[in-house]
Structure 1
Amino acid sequence: MYVNNPNIKLPENPDTIIWKYLDLSKFLDLLISGKMFMSRSDKFEDQYEGTFSEPTFEEIKKISENNPKFLDYYKSHRENVVISSWHTNEYESFAMWQVFTKNNEGLAIQSTIGRLKEALHLERNFEQFIGEVNYIDYKKEHIPFDDVFFPFLFKRKSFQYENEIRVISDVTAQNLTINEGLKINVDINTLIERIYIHPKSENWYKKLVIELVSKLGFDFTIEKSDLESDILI
């Protein structure tokens, strides 16, 4: 269930458009299972996920001199925090197609922050928080640590193109052993507003996606991205 955390920033407009770019297999898994995958925070490619900037780490080390468990907690906590990443943008992103899809295939889910919040209410086992990621210089800027989620809401400036918001959950209290991540219940029809097919995909691929979605009992609007439409000169 989505829970508001006043310490976590999020665009106020519920109609703010968000995207998830993914391959067909992950999309079908979402539709068939009715569950959204959330990755364990220390399993992302970016090794800095859930860690601190240098100024903050120096501060934490001083605190930990008399309380070593303080630092150990932050190291182990990454294994209990799971994340689903979304891209905030009014329009499609060419860069996100390039990074998150392969072989001219894949698709993008278009939703809104309001839809995401509502869709998460189907999950009753874990509290879900949504926040926007801050992009900073890890050598110079400070990451606050007065909220356990703050380390997971900061990334290096080199990732700024992601313009990311995150669904975050801490499953420490559930005493779960998480490998790559876990799946949470979501209302698929509420979550998905529209589907866009890869701009370089062939027509057979779009027809395949439409047919699969229909056979699974969904009727989302499905369009082919127009990022590769014919030039007019």
Structure 2
Amino acid sequence: MYHMTGRFTLELSKLRYFHWDSCCVCHYQFIQNDACNSGYSADGTPLYVCDKCATHLVELAERNNYTPRAYLIPKDETILWRYMDFSKFLSLLDNRSLYFARADHLGDPFEGARGRLVDKPIWDDHLYNFFKSATLNPPPGHTCTLTPEQIEAQCQRLLIEFNEGCAGARKSHFVSCWHENDIESEAMWKLYSTHQENALAVKTTKINLYKSLGENLDIKIGKMNYIDFSKEFPKNNGVFWTKRISFEHEREVRAMITNSNSQEIGIQIPCNVTELINEVYISPTAPPWFAAMVQSVSTKMGYNLRFNHSSLAETPLY
């Protein structure tokens, strides 16, 4: 196998991101720990291939073992909604940026949780045994020379550091939450707008969200998993993609980015607002003047957006 160069063009990075689960040549579906090879063919075409198809490579950028993603990427045409107050909508238009809240300020104490506190002994036992096994069984060519006392001390140190790292991760993950639905949701109007009379809903698609954020591969867009924390734990690397099953009604798709340098409770990510917004829906309880005001303000700010009144405001026939 070739020496790994570590050279990743944007095209190769995108190819690997969007074809993570399969070989781009033979379409073989990877399973846990399969070898995945990223690189280039003789004519410079980026390739992400299995071992069988690695003969197509003349340059190997990276070879890694496959691990399934902790989240599902929505289809490009998936319809997404963001319900908000007028002030947040105005901020989006004025700043031309999308607000990402820090995970520990999203309002759910289980954001980033590995499980329930009552199950901590299970986690600690699992991690301790993992650290001990890794210490006693080093890679080929290495020998463990530590005494039993030193191994115990090292495992306890690693356990403390791991637990501290997990708790601190809530301060380095920033999230923009969206609701997946083909139609607007009455429940979402009530849940995610402080004053429903002055609320709006931005309608977009997954591909528009991705493009509006500059096709930035550091921003992951995926569906949330909902589980019963009394019966199972989140997937590996999936704590920020997992919520309690009681939140399943949210049908959340989130955009998430990590930033360990920011001390803020939220960050603004530059956004092409025109690319992002397909339509804007006015709250079903909003007075007529509110709709006129929102359209007027957006026009004066240089936007030509399509506005709709909520279908929930239609007059019933008895």
With the length of structure 2 as denominator, give the TM-score of the two structures.
Answer: 0.66
Match of 1:214 among 295, 299, 306: 299
**Contact in 2 for aligned 1:56/1:144 (Cα 8 Å):** no
1:229 lines up with 2:291 in the alignment? no
1:110 corresponds to = 203
* Counterpart residue number, 1:176: 262
Structure 1 CA distance for aligned equivalents of residues 219 and 103 of structure 2: 14
Q: Which residue of 2 aligns with 1:20?
A: 82
Residue of structure 2 in register with 1:91 after alignment: 183
Select 2:254's aligned residue among 156, 162, 166. 166
Q: How do 1:56-205 and structure 2 match up within 5 A?
A: 57-62=120-125, 63=127, 66=156, 67=158, 68-101=160-193, 102-121=195-214, 127-145=218-236, 147=237, 150-172=238-260, 175-178=261-264, 180-205=265-290
Inter-CA distance 56–91: structure 2 relative to 1 (3 Å threshold): farther
Q: Please provide the CA RMSD for this pair.
A: 2.1
Question: For each residue in 1:132-172, what CA deviation from the matched residue of structure 2 results, as whole angstroms up to 9, or x when unmatched?
Answer: 10111011112122x2xx11111111111110001111112
CA contact (8 A) 1:15 1:113 kept: yes
Runs of 4 or more consecutive aligned structure 1 residues displaced over 6 Å after TM superposition: none
Deviation for aligned residue 1:103:
4.2
Task: Give the residue type in structure 1 aligned to 2:78.
Answer: T
Query: Could you tell me whether the CA contact under 8 Å between 1:52 and 1:143 is conserved in 2?
Result: yes
Deviates more, 1:204-213 or 1:45-54: 45-54
Is 1:122–1:187's contact at 8 Å kept on the other side of the alignment? no
> 2:97 maps to which residue?
35
Q: Which has the higher contact order (CA 8 A, sep 6+)?
A: 1
Q: Is the 8 A contact 1:21 1:97 kept in 2?
A: yes
Query: How far did 1:131 drift?
Result: 1.0
* Alpha-carbon shift at residue 46 of structure 1 (Å): 1.0
Identity over the aligned pairs, expressed in percent?
29
C-alpha spacing 1:103/1:14, structure 2 compared with 1 (3 Å)? closer
Structure 2 counterpart of 1:88, which letter?
Answer: E
> SS at the partner of 2:274?
helix
* 1:170-201 CA-partner distances (Å, limit 9, x unpaired): 112xx2222x2111111111110000000111
SS across alignment from 1:168: strand
Distance 1:71 1:33, change over 3 A: same
Shift of 1:122: 6.7
Shift of residue 115, structure 1, vs aligned partner: 0.3
SS in 2 for 1:232: coil
Contact 1:49–1:152 (Cα < 8 Å) also in 2: yes
Deviation at 1:58, TM superposition (A): 4.4
CA contact under 8 A between 2:190 and 2:196: conserved in structure 1?
Answer: no
Deviation at 1:98, TM superposition (A): 0.6
Distance across 2 between alignment mates of 1:71 and 1:144: 17
Deviation of 1:26 (Å): 0.5
Residues 103, 88 of structure 1: CA spacing in aligned structure 2 closer, same or farther, 3 A cutoff?
closer
How far apart, CA to CA, are the structure 1 residues paired with 2:94 and 2:190? 26
> Is the radius of gyration larger for structure 1 or structure 2?
2
Partner letter of residue 134 of structure 1?
N
**TM-score of the superposition, structure 1-length normalised?**
0.90
In structure 2, how many angstroms separate the alpha carbons of the residues matched to 1:219 and 1:209? 12
Structure 2 residues without counterparts, runs of 5 or longer: 1-9, 21-68, 129-154
Number of aligned positions between the proteins: 224
User: How far 1:94 moved relative to its partner?
Assistant: 0.3
Per the TM alignment, residue 109 of structure 1 is displaced from its structure 2 partner at its CA by: 0.1
